[in-house]
């Protein structure tokens, strides 16, 4: 039998990539080591070359202090963390848009929940053709971190898919062909995550503050909320939200069940050519300039709610809304700048 490669020894382990990425032979994995960066990324094969496969179990924290590529199966132990250090680029998964890929990269829990992939200030994380399963936060973005997802990335059964510190971070998330699902139940809470998980269902696919969020073909299903953004620029095009409900969770003044919850101070939100099915709210907007154009909203309680937003502007054009309670609700908006509601 073949032993699975293991990085670190327990949940307190801290391993620097530069100390273990020294194996030069992709055909001969060495226990406790990973491939040299140029071998992992298959640099000799050219910019479109398929990465070399590596499978391993991670215990504790792996600190990425070199530009690096992961392709294969990564099994995350209780509370495990991958940390991308400032100034470095980490690529997870491989896909050729012309040829496709025979192998999906998977990052999965082996036991309790793992904690996160943490992207430090001015670090870059690129994810493609990958499943991220069973984390507290699938991806955690620090100040000025940049995340790009594309070619069918799936966040499954994570408490939050993509998250940051709402007060301090100014991150960028460029999301294309990216899915957020809850199929339940969660893994047991990680030992270092006590008090951080409040609900037994995914709180949000994306939960970001002070950020730039651009989503194309984003799919969120069976979650408490789809996308939550505070003081952020949000642009969504061709997205799909289904079964976004509160699922009996308490109100606490800001109830769950919002496919899109965008709040802030004179920021801009634009949602276009997207579909919302079976949601408590399709779009909830508070304090932002918001454009809602050519969307379909079916079997929702409220289609669009504009809450307290003095001095802001709204454009609502060509939306098809079938709502049980209210189609478009201007609720205590204050004295707004301009409102244009046409052919809905």
d(CA 185, CA 79): 18
Side-chain-facing half-sphere of 20: CA atoms under 13 Å:
19
Return the pLDDT at 29: 86
- Work out the widest C-alpha separation in the chain, in whole angstroms: 71
- For residue 1, what pLDDT band results from cuts at 50, 70 and 90? very low
pLDDT digits (tens, 9 = 90+) for 289-302: 999 999 999 999 99
Closest CA to 68 of 108, 17, 5: 17
pLDDT digits (tens, 9 = 90+) for 257-287: 999 999 987 679 999 999 999 999 999 999 9
If one counts every other C-beta atom within 10 angstroms of the C-beta of residue 28, the result is: 7
DSSP characters over 38-60: HHHTTGGG-TTPPPPP--EEE-S
Return the pLDDT at 168: 64
Q: What is the mean pLDDT of residues 332-340?
A: 84
Q: What is the mean pLDDT of residues 318-323?
A: 97
Q: What is the mean pLDDT of residues 151-158?
A: 98
Q: Is 144 left (phi over 0), alpha (psi -120 to 50) or beta?
A: left
- Residue 107 in this model has a pLDDT that exceeds 70: yes
d(CA 147, CA 123): 9
pLDDT digits (tens, 9 = 90+) for 245-262: 999 998 877 899 999 999
Q: What is the mean pLDDT of residues 293-320?
A: 95
Q: What is the mean pLDDT of residues 19-24?
A: 96
- For residue 216, what pLDDT band results from cuts at 50, 70 and 90? very high
pLDDT digits (tens, 9 = 90+) for 168-200: 678 999 999 999 999 989 999 999 888 899 999
Q: Residues for the chain: how many in total? A: 344
d(CA 113, CA 157): 10
- For residue 48, what pLDDT band results from cuts at 50, 70 and 90? confident
If one counts every other C-beta atom within 10 angstroms of the C-beta of residue 303, the result is: 28
d(CA 254, CA 289): 20
Cis (ω within 30 of 0) for the bond into 185? yes
Reported as type and span, the H/E element at residue 37 is: helix 37-40
d(CA 222, CA 241): 9
Reported as type and span, the H/E element at residue 20 is: helix 17-20
Unique residue bearing structure tokens 């991670």: 58
- Residue 140 in this model has a pLDDT that exceeds 60: yes
């Amino acid at each position: 039998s073949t032993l699975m490669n293991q990085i670190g020894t327990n949940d307190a382990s801290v391993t620097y990539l530069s100390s273990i990425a020294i194996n030069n032979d992709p055909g001969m994995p060495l226990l406790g080591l990973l491939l040299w960066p140029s071998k992992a990324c298959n640099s000799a094969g050219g910019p479109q070359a398929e990465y070399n496969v590596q499978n391993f179990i991670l215990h504790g924290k792996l600190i990425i202090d070199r530009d690096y590529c992961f392709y294969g199966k990564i099994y995350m132990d209780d509370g495990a963390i991958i940390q991308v250090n400032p100034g470095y680029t980490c690529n997870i998964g491989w896909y050729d848009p012309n040829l496709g890929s025979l192998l999906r990269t998977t990052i999965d829990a082996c036991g309790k929940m793992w904690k996160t992939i943490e992207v430090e200030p001015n670090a870059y994380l690129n994810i493609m053709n990958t499943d991220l399963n069973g984390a507290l936060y699938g991806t955690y973005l620090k100040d000025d971190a940049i995340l790009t997802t594309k070619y069918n990335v799936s966040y499954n059964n994570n408490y939050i898919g993509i998250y940051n510190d709402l007060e301090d971070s100014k991150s960028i998330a460029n999301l294309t062909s990216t899915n957020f699902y809850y199929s339940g139940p969660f893994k047991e809470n990680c030992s270092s995550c006590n008090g951080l998980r409040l609900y037994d269902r995914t709180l949000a696919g994306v939960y970001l503050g002070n950020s730039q969020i651009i989503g194309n073909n984003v799919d969120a299903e069976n979650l408490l909320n789809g996308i939550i953004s505070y003081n952020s620029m949000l642009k969504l095009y061709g997205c799909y939200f289904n079964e976004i409900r509160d699922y009996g969770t308490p109100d606490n003044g800001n109830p769950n069940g919002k496919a899109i919850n965008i709040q802030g101070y004179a920021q801009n939100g634009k949602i276009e050519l997207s579909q919302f099915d079976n949601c408590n709210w399709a779009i909830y907007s508070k304090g932002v300039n918001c454009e809602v154009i050519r969307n379909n909203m079916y079997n929702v309680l409220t289609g669009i709610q504009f809450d307290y937003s003095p001095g802001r502007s709204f454009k609502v054009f060509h939306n098809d809304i079938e709502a049980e309670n209210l189609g478009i609700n201007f609720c205590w908006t204050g004295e707004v700048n301009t409102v244009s509601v046409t052919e809905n």
